[in-house]
Amino acid sequence: MDAPRKTYRPWDPDFYRQQAHSPASKLPPGDLVFFLLDVIDQIDLAAIYAPYEKQLRGAPPFDPRMMTCLWLYAYCVGVFSSRKIAQACERNLAFLAIVGEDRPDFRTISDFRKIHLDALADLFNQVLKIAHEAGLVQLGAWATDGSKFPGNASRHKAMSYGYMKKEEERLKAEIADLLKQQQQTDEAEDAALGSRRGDELPEELHFREQRLAKILEAKARLEEQAKAEAEAERQRRAESEEQVQRGEKHAGGRPPAPISEVPDDKAQTSFTDPELKIMPQSNKSYEYGVNAQVVVDDACQIIVAADVVIETNDKKQAVPMAKQALANLEAAGIERPRDAQGEVQKIASLEDTGYFSEKAVSGLEELGLDPYIATGRQKHHAPLGVGEPEPLPAKATAKQKMKAKLKTPTGRAVYGLRKGVVEPVLGQVKGVRGFRRFSMRGVRKVKGEWRLVCLTHNLLKIWRYSYLPNMN
C-alpha cells in the first residue's frame, strides 16, 4: 500500500489562461509570464516541496510551483513587496495568469519567501544550467564588480562606541539607584505589613536592564571587530615589509601609528541589523549596507556567481568570487571550453583597480584564469598608453607586469570589454528593476535575496535571447 501523499490546492494555469477574457487572450504570446510558466516545469523544486510532504494534516497549502513562479515573476518585474504582489494578484493580468482564481494573501506570500529563501536561492545553479543549454554562457571572459546596497537597518537605531560607554555608566548608576529605592521600599513594607512577594521588578528597572544588556552586547561586537581589524592590519604591514625586503617597494614615509585593538569612539553599530556595516552609497550618503558582488559572463551578460560581503572595498574579493563561479559551473554541469588540442582554455578575468593586489593576480592564475586587473585609475580624457610597452626590469613586480600586460593591444582590447559586461548588469538591477535596498535582515538572508535577484536577472536574459526570438 502506497504511503499517503500530501495534497495541495488545485492549480491549473493552462485552464485559466484559456478562458474568455483570460490573460492569454489579452497578453502577447511571448510575454514573460508565459515563459516562466513554461520554465517552472524544468526546475527541480524537491527542496521546496519536501517540508510539505511530511505535513499531512491541515488545509491544503498553495502549490509550491505556483508560489515559486509568483516570486520569480515578481522579482523579474521589480515587485519585491508581498503586499504589492498580493494587490497585483487581484488586478494585474500577468499575475492572474500565475495564481488563477485562488489568490494567496500577502501574509502567505511573505511567509513562503521567509521559509524557502535558501531553497529559492539554490535555484541559481539550475537557472545557470538552462542559460548554458540555451547557448548564453560561453566562458571566453568574465568580469567581476561590486555595488553597495543599503540594508534593512536605520541609522537612527545605531550608537557609537563612545556614546555606549557613557550610556553604560549612566544606566548602571540608574539601576543601582532603583535597586536601592526598591530595597528601602521593601524594608518599609516589611516593617509595616510583614512578608510580601516582592518578586516583581519595577518597570523602570526592567527597561534599563534590557537597554544595558543590548549596549553591552553591541560594545562586545565592536571590540571583536576592532581586534579583527587590528590583526588584518598587522598582516598587511608584514606583507608590506616583505615587499620592501625583496626590493619591490620603497620603505619611505612616516612611521605608521601603533595598532590598537580598542574601537574608536566614533565606531558605530546598528541595533536593527548588527551584522551590517556603515558604507558609502552611490548618492554620497552613508547607510548600513552590504557590498554585493557579481561575476558576469561576457557573451550575454549571464551572472555566473553572486555573493554579498560586508567589506567596504573589493581588494580581497577577486579570488573568492572566481572560486564561487567555478564551483557554480561545476554544480551546473558546465565544462570549461577546450582548444583544438583538448586543453582547457583560460577564461579572461576582468576586474577594475579596486580588486588589484599581488595575491589576487597569483590566486586567479592558480585557478587557471587569465587576469586583467587595472593597476590604477585612468583620468578622464587622458590618452591611452598606445604602443610597445617598456621593457620590464629583471625583478618586475606583479603590478609592473600587469601594467605592461594592459598596455599591449591585446590587453587593451580584452580589458576594454569590462565596462560593457558587468556594469550594465548592475545598472539593470538598480535602474530597470528598481532593486535598491534589501528587505531581509541578517547576512545569510541578504545573501539569499541577492542570489534571488541575480537568478531572476538570468531568467530575463534567457527570455530575451532564447524565448522571444522563437515567438516571432
Of 466, 142, 438, the residue nearest 290 (C-alpha): 438
Angle value at C-alpha 121, between 123 and 79, nearest 5 degrees? 105
Query: Exposed (0-12), middle (13-18) or buried (19+): which is 388, by Cβ within 10 Å?
Result: exposed
User: Tens digit of pLDDT for each residue in 50-67?
Assistant: 888 877 777 788 899 999
Asked if pLDDT for residue 339 goes beyond 60, the answer is yes
User: Tens digit of pLDDT for each residue in 224-267?
Assistant: 776 776 777 677 777 777 766 666 566 666 777 777 767 676 66
Q: Report whether 23 contacts 75 (CB < 8 A).
A: no
User: Tens digit of pLDDT for each residue in 133-186?
Assistant: 999 999 999 999 999 988 877 766 666 666 667 766 776 776 777 677 766 666
Mean pLDDT of 191-212: 60
Of 173, 115, 211, the residue nearest 448 (C-alpha): 115
Q: Report whether 77 contacts 434 (CB < 8 A).
A: no
323 vs 439: which has the higher pLDDT: 323
